[in-house]
């Protein structure tokens, strides 16, 4: 069974992180909520989140690590030397890493967006381009770079698309859940 860690920091965008956890757990993917520096995290909209564990070296063992955004949360992730060390190690071991909204600033600071295709919240690309000038920014809902094993997405409304891409990257079929959660229906209606 694949394993995923979603790392939460104070100031995170709650809907992004919780959407990932919800979708992946519905798919029976072992998904841990990991607090950056403590078990109880206060989100950007004053929603208190209780994590399963606090960041430690076991982060290197997950099949995929996802970082939700929120500007303050992303800055807290970006500034963590412990997280940087573990994410660089994961990248060197060719493991999947994912970030959405403002969180690609962390991947950029950690050197993981170099030569990678990615996206982010509008305007965040100015920061990521400064940190990772060889990264290739795309204006898409989600961007999967299979060579660099990086998945990125835009913001709160794209959280489900991001979660499904994460599940598919770790080898889980999402087609039935997309139907059950009315994701296909929503996508079809928006496309019209």
Which one, of 143, 139, 96, 99, lies nearest residue 117 by Cα?
A: 143
Cα angle 162, 141, 188; round to 5: 90
Which one, of 27, 31, 16, lies nearest residue 180 by Cα?
A: 27
What are the structure tokens assigned to 123, written together? 């305007």
State the Cα–Cα distance between residues 108 and 103, nearest whole angstrom: 9
State the Cα–Cα distance between residues 74 and 178, nearest whole angstrom: 28
110 DSSP 8-state letter: T
Residue 101 annotated as catalytic: yes
Residue 56's SS3 state is coil
From 101, 106, 150, 151, the catalytic residue:
101
State the Cα–Cα distance between residues 98 and 18, nearest whole angstrom: 15
State the Cα–Cα distance between residues 13 and 44, nearest whole angstrom: 6
Q: Which residues are catalytic?
A: 101
């Amino acid at each position: 069974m694949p394993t995923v860690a979603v790392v939460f920091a104070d100031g995170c965008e709650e809907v992004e992180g919780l959407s990932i956890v919800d979708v992946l757990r519905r798919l029976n993917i072992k998904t841990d909520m990991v607090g950056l520096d403590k078990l109880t995290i206060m989100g950007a909209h004053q929603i208190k989140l209780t994590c399963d564990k606090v960041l430690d070296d076991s982060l290197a063992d997950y099949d995929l690590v996802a970082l939700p955004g929120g500007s303050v949360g992303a800055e807290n992730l970006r500034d963590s030397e412990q997280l940087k060390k573990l994410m660089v190690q994961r990248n060197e071991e060719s493991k999947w890493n994912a970030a959405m909204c403002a969180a690609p600033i962390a991947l950029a600071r950690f050197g993981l967006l170099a030569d990678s295709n990615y996206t982010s919240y509008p305007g965040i690309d100015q920061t990521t381009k400064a940190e990772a000038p060889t990264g290739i920014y795309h204006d898409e809902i989600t961007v999967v770079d299979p060579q660099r094993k990086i998945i990125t997405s835009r913001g709160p409304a794209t959280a489900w698309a991001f979660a499904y891409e994460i599940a598919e990257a770790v080898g889980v079929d999402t087609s039935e859940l997309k139907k059950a959660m009315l994701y296909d229906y929503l996508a079809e209606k928006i496309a019209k």
